[in-house]
Amino acid sequence: STWASHHTLSPESIKATALSTRRPSPASESASLSEKHCTEMVKLKPHEKRLLRKVDFLDWKADNTLREAHVLRRYHVSRREDYVRYNKLVGAITALVATLKAKPKEDAQRAEITAALLRKLYAMGVVDADSSLAKAENVSVSAFCRRRLAVVMVKLKLAETSRRP
């Protein structure tokens, strides 16, 4: 007596087995969740528990930088979105400088783009001289914050502080 002699595999039995072991579709899962009103939590697998132990949802590493807090406080930047925007600009400038440095020095396109970038940064007041690509490489968020109207007015002694009254 073998296993095969007791269990015959017919197309109907294979289909029944496949239907009974199939996972429910996401649409049917969401319908069943809404019916239950989310009274039951999904049980996490052990590797998922281990991963979640290492994550703190209240204190993100990217949001809690001392440098960011220092710049926001020093230049009285009230909206964090402004800091994030300046940081993205600095990242784009740094990436552009890296690609320009990868090109050969004799390349005409490199010289043209480098001159245009340095002119633009100098006109905005972010760098103090449009002489070399090293100046553009060292651009920081603080350089953009120093060009804000309130900070410039304090520097020119047109206002006492950059804070709002």
Tokens of 74: 């020093």
pLDDT at res. 89: 93
36 or 91, greater pLDDT? 91
- Rounded to whole angstroms, how far apart are CA atoms 44 and 74? 45
Handedness of CA 100, 102, 105, 106 (dihedral sign): negative
Tokens of 73: 């406080």
How remote is the C-alpha of 85 from its chain's centroid? Answer: 11
Please list the helix, strand and coil fractions of the chain in percent, rounded to the nearest 5, in that order.
60, 0, 40
Q: Specify the range with the lowest mean pLDDT, choosing from 43-47, 55-59, 117-121.
A: 55-59
- For the cut 80, the answer to whether the pLDDT of residue 133 exceeds it is yes
Residue in 103, 104, 102, 100 with CA at minimum distance from that of residue 116: 100
* Nearest-10 Cα torsion for 122, 125, 126, 129: 40
- For the cut 90, the answer to whether the pLDDT of residue 92 exceeds it is yes
CB 136 within 8 A of CB 97: yes
**Half-sphere exposure of residue 29: CA atoms within 13 angstroms, side-chain side:** 7
pLDDT at res. 103: 93
How remote is the C-alpha of 70 from its chain's centroid? Answer: 20
In three-state secondary structure terms, 141 is: helix
- Rounded to whole angstroms, how far apart are CA atoms 72 and 79? 8
